[in-house]
Structure 1
Amino acid sequence: MGTSALLFSESPEDPFSLYRAASAVLDENGTVVGWSDRAEELLGFPADEAIGRRWQEFLIDPDDLPTARAAAAESVKAGGWFGVMPLRHRDGRRVEMGFRARVVKRGASVREWSLVGAPAAEVISWQRDRALLDGLYYRSPIGLIIHDPDLRLVRVNRAVEKVGDIPAGELVGTRTGEVLVSEDAQAAVDRVRRVLDTGKPSIFTEQSCRMCKDPGRERVVSASAFRMEDSSGRILGVAETIEDVTDRYRARRRLALLNDAAARIGTTLDVRQTARELAELAVAGPADHASVDLLEPVLVGDEPCHEGTATPVVRTAWAPEPCGFAYAVGERVPLAPESPQARSLAERRPILERQVTLRPRWYGLEGARAEHAMGVGLHSLIVVPLRARGVVLGVVSLWRSRRSQSFDEDDLMVVEEFASRAAVCIDNARRFTQQQRAALTLQRSLLPGEVPEQSALEVAHRYLPARGEPGIGGDWFDVIPLSGARVALVVGDVVGHGIHAAATMGRLRAAVHTLASLDLEPDEVLARLDDLVSLLAAEQESNADRRPSAVEQVVGATCLYAVYDPVSRHCSLARAGHPAPAVATPDGTVTVPDLPVGPPLGLGGLPFEACDLDLPEGSLLALYTDGLVEARDGDIEAALADLREKLAHPAEPLEHTCQAVVDALLPAAHQPTDDIALLVARTRVLPPTNVATWEIPMEATAAARARELITAKLTEWGLADLLFTTELVVSELVTNAYRYAAGPVTLRLIRTQSLTCEVSDASHTSPHLRRARSTDEGGRGLFLVAQLTDRWGTRYTRDGKTVWTEQPLPFSRPPANAEPTASSAGV
């Protein structure tokens, strides 16, 4: 039998039991008068040889005689003796024996000694077992409970008394679990019942428990149990060890919570999302309810400034119960100066209130949240300021209601730890918001604002900046008015993201405007841009050499440049590594022209090629960046199919078509990771009545003839107020052509929002504006032209050049009875 059986009766393993021990009887003179069979078995002396001998004869060493006599004297005084003594076997060998000796009196003067002995090894083992049982019940720090088959407690040790603060006498006889709070008791009973029924031990099972005498104190115990059986297999009950591991459990929970904080807080660079993650972690850990209040500037990325304890905060997140998620609130909460949150902000220190009387307005609880707080009985509070890099960003507040135990110093320590980590994440998000806002401001300042009205095109556009960590991109679009009522459409995309990409985009956009003002062909514009991007890349490389620690920025871009002429319906396009546009004709046919693919800007040395299209009036031209067709799972073919479908209704309002394209290619729930630029233009054609063209012979009377023609036409158009100015301008331009150019001269007037005068010749010489000296006889013509018009310039073609001017129209309108005339006439 094991030690369990010793709890109920004398163990058969007792070496001094009746059937296991050797026994002898000594008279008062120390002579053996009684000798058992077991004594003969252990020492080899039969009874007839042992009886009559003096006890000293059985000692193996005469030196042991004083010890034996002292033991005998002690037994006389105490009435008994127990110890180990070496004896001599009949064959001469040494036998270590353990003895119990008792003095037995016969009458008033006769005394005898009763000796019971066993091998010393068995005695020592038996003593060890007895000491173990004694230690388990009286000195062990681990609790021991013995349950009978009816699950009643039949014995407990002193450690259990300490765990439960209940005397052992009150525990013995109670049923398992009767001393625990009901929800904890059922789990304890089920655990012991399983061990009793199955015989399968339960090892180190942790369970929360609360005693009925102290339900507010929550403890965690580690329990192991095994079923007890006798030698015949009869079930005697269950032995269970109990260890209070509350401190260890809480330490492990703190480490797990801090590990969760590192994984769950700061998953994005969004201030509000980080606040919600903090609130959710709080209710998953030590709190039943949590709120995160941030100072208002933090939410927009600004540096917080403290204006006193009454500074209003924004309740950014509120977790009313451990439901697994936190609500985004976003309400301004004025804190009372005496509230714990205001004091924590002002004093920059955590506050622990083990027991609080709930005052909803103190804690910024209003309306339904105040009613909820009062209903659930919030009773304990921790407020910790969110500090990062020496700046207080707000406070996190934790309440308890469901758990009756109040917050303690250990809870405050762990809350401070994960709040400090959360504060760094919130500050990182704040700084990112600040940088993102600055970058977006820079980007918006570099992009066009309102697109001006154009006679040549009706335009609608969309620009969607990238959201999330990649940051802003370098996509841009532009609508640039050119001479002769023409319009340039531009869409481009700079490689990379961030402020560097936005700055590069601004430089390229400015360069495109400059090149457009020179009236260059689209392929020539891209060639000049390519040179600029190569120059920027070389400059970047040079800066990197001088500053090795600088982050290298790849400089490169794609671009699509198109010029549309509303007079000829002619559109010239060229692209540098950019997606081709989509063209929808008035009959609903949508195509993607096979434009020559030029290399991206910055590769250098490779030519660009332009493509010419004739567009019927009312055609749609859609220019876009790759972010539009790659936004939805990267399926470009499906995106292009949706684009064609939405453009197949060219008669629809242009704004509606533009938005329909965005909705189809970019679902509302999708967050684009790249900037998206979309430019949709519907072509217009200037009516023939708004254009007049003449070919003037190279004669001395060319200027006079030109004045006669424009006088008639401006009178017809009702623009008599512009006659004087226009005559001077045309006379100067035709005279210059007559004097310095060759071949025929073409004069053209275009009436749109302004009056455009164009004089074309076959020469490539460029007129220059200069300030004439007082003694010069000429050189003042172009100066007068520049003074009398809003804009003027020169554009070059393969056959020569065109000098043009623009003048604003007066408020006068053509006569109502004016009849249309031919758009051109030969002279």
Structure 2
Amino acid sequence: MAATPGRLRSAVEEQAILDWLFSQSPIAVAVYDTDLRCIRQNAAMDRLLGAPPRDGRGRRLSELVFGPDATTWERCLRHALATGEAVPAREIRGRTAADPGQDRVFASTAAPLHDQQGDVIGVCATVDDVTEHRRAQERLALLNEATTRVGTTLDLMRTAQELADTAVPRICDWITVDLLDTVLSGDEPGPFTRTVALRRMANRSVLEGEPEAVRKPGEVDFYPPQSPPVRCMATGQTAILRTPDPVMQSWLAVDPARAARFREFKFQSIMPVPISARGAILGVAIFYRRGSDRFTDDDRLLAQELVAFAALCLDNARRFTRERTAALTLQHSLLSQRFPAQAAVDVASRYLPAAGQSGAGGDWFDVIPLSGARVALVVGDVVGRGIKASAAMGRLRTAVRTLADVDLPPDELLTHLDDLVTRLATEDDPGGEAAEQGATCTYAIYDPVSRRCSIARAGHPPPAVLAPEGTAEFLELPPGPPLGLGNLPFESTEAEVAEGSVFALYTDGLIASRERDVDEGMERLRRALARPSLSPRALCEAVFEDVRPEPPSDDVTLLIARTKALASDQVAVRDIPQDPAAVADARAWAARRLACWGLYEAAFVTELVVSELVTNAIRYARPPIELRLIRDRTLICEVSDNSNTAPHMRRARVFDEGGRGLLLVSQLTQRWGTRHTREGKTIWCEQPIPDGGQEAGA
């Protein structure tokens, strides 16, 4: 029977479709029998697998595709044969004859072929090479991961290690992250025309322990000017070098140890990438690959993007480290490195900057000798962190020392300090738009003669006192406002303390943290102080270790002072009547007292000083007048009266009958000055005790 024109047309069209599918279609298609032997595959499949036309016929898929997932591909085909159902697209990795050196990613589908009775007679597979698409996705995923994984802290080594951990093994088999030693020290990167010192910040390898042990983080390595890493930093360009590359060979020729490592670890391809941020070269990250899998241009772009992001994080960490180091250096230079000699208290101190990324704060402490064998104890805390806080701390500490020299009582000193903080804040911010600069402070004066202590605080935690019998309590003091608020009063509290009592002055970083409140911290401090048998240094260490938060979120400062008292035979007091004839009696009394103390060589100067000071008090002041001698580290002479007028030294003219008294006192003694009290004033002077003076009884 002759074929009808319609059927003829259909057969021709079907043949045309089959011809196009197996010769011109861009989609790789292959048909397999029930034994999974290739019946026919199109030209696109030939190109994809690298098999010449008809070479793949009769062969299994595993013979044409090799790699870790080739058997998985066959399992998909068998699944379609066994179930009679299509297998949806699935990504499979493998290598083909077309590209035997690289793993490829294929998207494969499998659909069963049925005869007219519905029986499965074979399977048809379509394959699409999605390697580049998958690599693009992986690159984006890697870069996205880097934004959350790199730069989690402002620690240089940790940031560098995060970069290394992100790169291995997804980009390379080994990576080193090195920064210029000059940049780390705060200097500008020098010319790359000579040997360059690079400090190893991080290593990472796919082989555990290798080759990280070659150069440990923190060590310095030296690179010649023509080496690939230095050329990379000099040009700012990323280069891909493969062995045997002439540049790499010349580098290894002058560095036999490095060449041995290259041979040992079978490095075939390296890629130095400059670490550059904000227009400055910071160092170089060197990517290494082993074996035949060498770097490509896509790898170069990915590595550059990853290193560029990490470079900003490294530069931020470098800047923070430099500022933190400068702040800590400034702060330590301003803090007392050695306490001055004095006989009023035995002192010990501890200071610990805050942990984490906040930098140095504005904590300070001080021990200031005052007139009359007294001593001032100071602990303060400036609001804020960094260089600004450290500088403000230095200004306040200097101001406290200057005001202490004037012998102001604690409440008046804090009032002047409050005015200074307010004025400094205005000078630093004339527009008044900056954040307020504030501070807190505790200032205490202890007198070893009377065993009395006068304390005032400005928004600071109350000091603790440990009695000699072992009970520790916090002093009830008016809190006072923080410094810098202005126009608010400060109050002093006076208390008599037993000899051997311990004062603990501290900043709030010792007792407060995110994990505990202030009350809990103060209770821990009170319990930790109850150790009267320990020396001040041992007690300071024990309290510091027991009470401070770990890690501290704020600077921690602790000052421990154990009080001492001058013995009765070290102090002599005499009332002076307001009669000029009493001057001779005062001189004679002073000479006898010095003889009892064995200070014969000081008698002449002391008689002159006593004569001048007592004469001025009788002539210009109001009674009662008191003369006091104190034998301490120096010989102290004090004359007190009930007048508020303060004398001042002036240089007398040739024919003046007076005005030479204080000039004479200043020339004969080591120090002199005036301190005001609520009832009057005291003029004092100190002279060194001559060698050989004996501590005789009164």
TM-score (norm 2): 0.91
Contact 2:323–2:386 at 8 Å: present in 1 too?
no
From 236, 247, 253, the equivalent of 2:132 is: 247
Residue 747 (structure 1) aligns with: 627
The residue identity in structure 2 corresponding to 1:145 is A
Pick closer, same or farther for the CA change 1:348–1:214 going to 2, 3 Å. closer
Pick closer, same or farther for the CA change 1:715–1:186 going to 2, 3 Å. farther
Residue 475 (structure 2) aligns with: 593
Contact 1:386–1:392 at 8 Å: present in 2 too?
yes
Residue 195 (structure 2) aligns with: 310
1:185, CA displacement in angstroms?
Answer: 1.9
From 463, 468, 483, the equivalent of 2:351 is: 463
From 22, 45, 48, the equivalent of 1:163 is: 48
Pick closer, same or farther for the CA change 1:453–1:181 going to 2, 3 Å. farther
Counterpart check, 1:135 vs 2:24: no
Residue 342 (structure 2) aligns with: 454
Listed as ranges, the matches of 1:248-397 within 5 Å are 248-306=133-191, 308-321=193-206, 329-356=217-244, 362=252, 374-397=263-286
Contact 2:49–2:65 at 8 Å: present in 1 too?
no
Counterpart check, 1:649 vs 2:649: no
Number of aligned positions between the proteins: 693
Contact 1:293–1:394 at 8 Å: present in 2 too?
yes
Residues 111-131 of structure 1 deviation map (CA, whole Å, 9 limit, x = unaligned): xxx3425489xx66x766554
Residue 649 (structure 2) aligns with: 769
Contact 2:31–2:123 at 8 Å: present in 1 too?
yes
Pick closer, same or farther for the CA change 1:617–1:360 going to 2, 3 Å. farther
Residue 503 (structure 1) aligns with: 391
Deviating more after overlay: 498-507 vs 226-235 = 226-235
1:735, CA displacement in angstroms?
Answer: 0.9
Residue 667 (structure 2) aligns with: 787
Pick closer, same or farther for the CA change 1:794–1:233 going to 2, 3 Å. farther
From 574, 584, 589, the equivalent of 1:694 is: 574
1:394, CA displacement in angstroms?
Answer: 1.7
Counterpart check, 1:400 vs 2:289: yes
Residue 151 (structure 1) aligns with: 36
Contact 1:280–1:324 at 8 Å: present in 2 too?
no
Pick closer, same or farther for the CA change 1:371–1:566 going to 2, 3 Å. farther
Look up the SS of the partner of 1:736 in the other structure: helix
Residue 807 (structure 1) aligns with: 687
Residue 515 (structure 2) aligns with: 633
Contact 2:67–2:93 at 8 Å: present in 1 too?
no
Look up the SS of the partner of 1:628 in the other structure: coil
Residue 188 (structure 1) aligns with: 73
* Mapped partners of 1:319, 1:761: distance in 2: 78
* Mapped partners of 2:436, 2:253: distance in 1: 52
* Mapped partners of 2:538, 2:253: distance in 1: 49
Listed as ranges, the matches of 1:549-568 within 5 Å are 552-568=434-450
Listed as ranges, the matches of 1:68-107 within 5 Å are none
Pick closer, same or farther for the CA change 1:454–1:803 going to 2, 3 Å. same
Residues 142-183 of structure 1 deviation map (CA, whole Å, 9 limit, x = unaligned): 212334444333332221111111135332333332333342
Pick closer, same or farther for the CA change 1:211–1:293 going to 2, 3 Å. same
Counterpart check, 1:724 vs 2:633: no
* Mapped partners of 1:463, 1:127: distance in 2: 94
1:277, CA displacement in angstroms?
Answer: 2.2
Deviating more after overlay: 225-234 vs 461-470 = 225-234
* Mapped partners of 1:363, 1:589: distance in 2: 75
Residue 455 (structure 2) aligns with: 573
Residues 462-484 of structure 1 deviation map (CA, whole Å, 9 limit, x = unaligned): 22223443232222111111111
Pick closer, same or farther for the CA change 1:162–1:788 going to 2, 3 Å. same
Listed as ranges, the matches of 1:191-202 within 5 Å are 191-197=76-82, 201-202=86-87
Contact 1:530–1:604 at 8 Å: present in 2 too?
yes
Pick closer, same or farther for the CA change 1:810–1:189 going to 2, 3 Å. farther
Listed as ranges, the matches of 1:206-245 within 5 Å are 206-211=91-96, 215-230=100-115, 233-245=118-130
* Mapped partners of 2:548, 2:611: distance in 1: 56
Residue 371 (structure 2) aligns with: 483
The residue identity in structure 2 corresponding to 1:461 is S
The residue identity in structure 1 corresponding to 2:615 is T
The residue identity in structure 2 corresponding to 1:281 is T
1:739, CA displacement in angstroms?
Answer: 1.0
1:337, CA displacement in angstroms?
Answer: 4.5
Residue 420 (structure 1) aligns with: 308
* Mapped partners of 1:318, 1:365: distance in 2: 20
The residue identity in structure 2 corresponding to 1:437 is T
* Mapped partners of 2:81, 2:135: distance in 1: 30
* Mapped partners of 2:53, 2:209: distance in 1: 43
1:344, CA displacement in angstroms?
Answer: 2.5
Look up the SS of the partner of 1:285 in the other structure: coil
The residue identity in structure 1 corresponding to 2:589 is L
Residues 678-728 of structure 1 deviation map (CA, whole Å, 9 limit, x = unaligned): 211111112222222222233323221221222122122222121111111
Look up the SS of the partner of 1:330 in the other structure: coil
Look up the SS of the partner of 1:155 in the other structure: strand
Counterpart check, 1:661 vs 2:543: yes
Counterpart check, 1:410 vs 2:292: no
* Mapped partners of 2:327, 2:297: distance in 1: 44
Which blocks of at least 5 consecutive residues in structure 2 are unaligned? none
Counterpart check, 1:521 vs 2:413: no
Pick closer, same or farther for the CA change 1:115–1:306 going to 2, 3 Å. closer
Contact 1:258–1:418 at 8 Å: present in 2 too?
yes
Look up the SS of the partner of 2:206 in the other structure: coil
* Mapped partners of 1:399, 1:409: distance in 2: 15
Residue 492 (structure 1) aligns with: 380
1:228, CA displacement in angstroms?
Answer: 4.1
The residue identity in structure 2 corresponding to 1:260 is E
Which blocks of at least 5 consecutive residues in structure 1 are unaligned? 1-22, 24-113, 546-551, 822-827
Residue 433 (structure 1) aligns with: 321
The residue identity in structure 2 corresponding to 1:344 is C
* Mapped partners of 2:665, 2:520: distance in 1: 54
Residue 493 (structure 2) aligns with: 611
Look up the SS of the partner of 1:700 in the other structure: coil
1:811, CA displacement in angstroms?
Answer: 2.1
* Mapped partners of 1:790, 1:196: distance in 2: 109
The residue identity in structure 1 corresponding to 2:268 is H
Counterpart check, 1:582 vs 2:459: no
1:752, CA displacement in angstroms?
Answer: 1.8
Contact 2:411–2:456 at 8 Å: present in 1 too?
yes
The residue identity in structure 1 corresponding to 2:447 is D
* Mapped partners of 1:562, 1:425: distance in 2: 46
Percent identity, please.
Answer: 47
1:779, CA displacement in angstroms?
Answer: 0.9
Residue 10 (structure 1) aligns with: none
Residues 265-319 of structure 1 deviation map (CA, whole Å, 9 limit, x = unaligned): 3333333223222222221431110001221122233322236342222222111
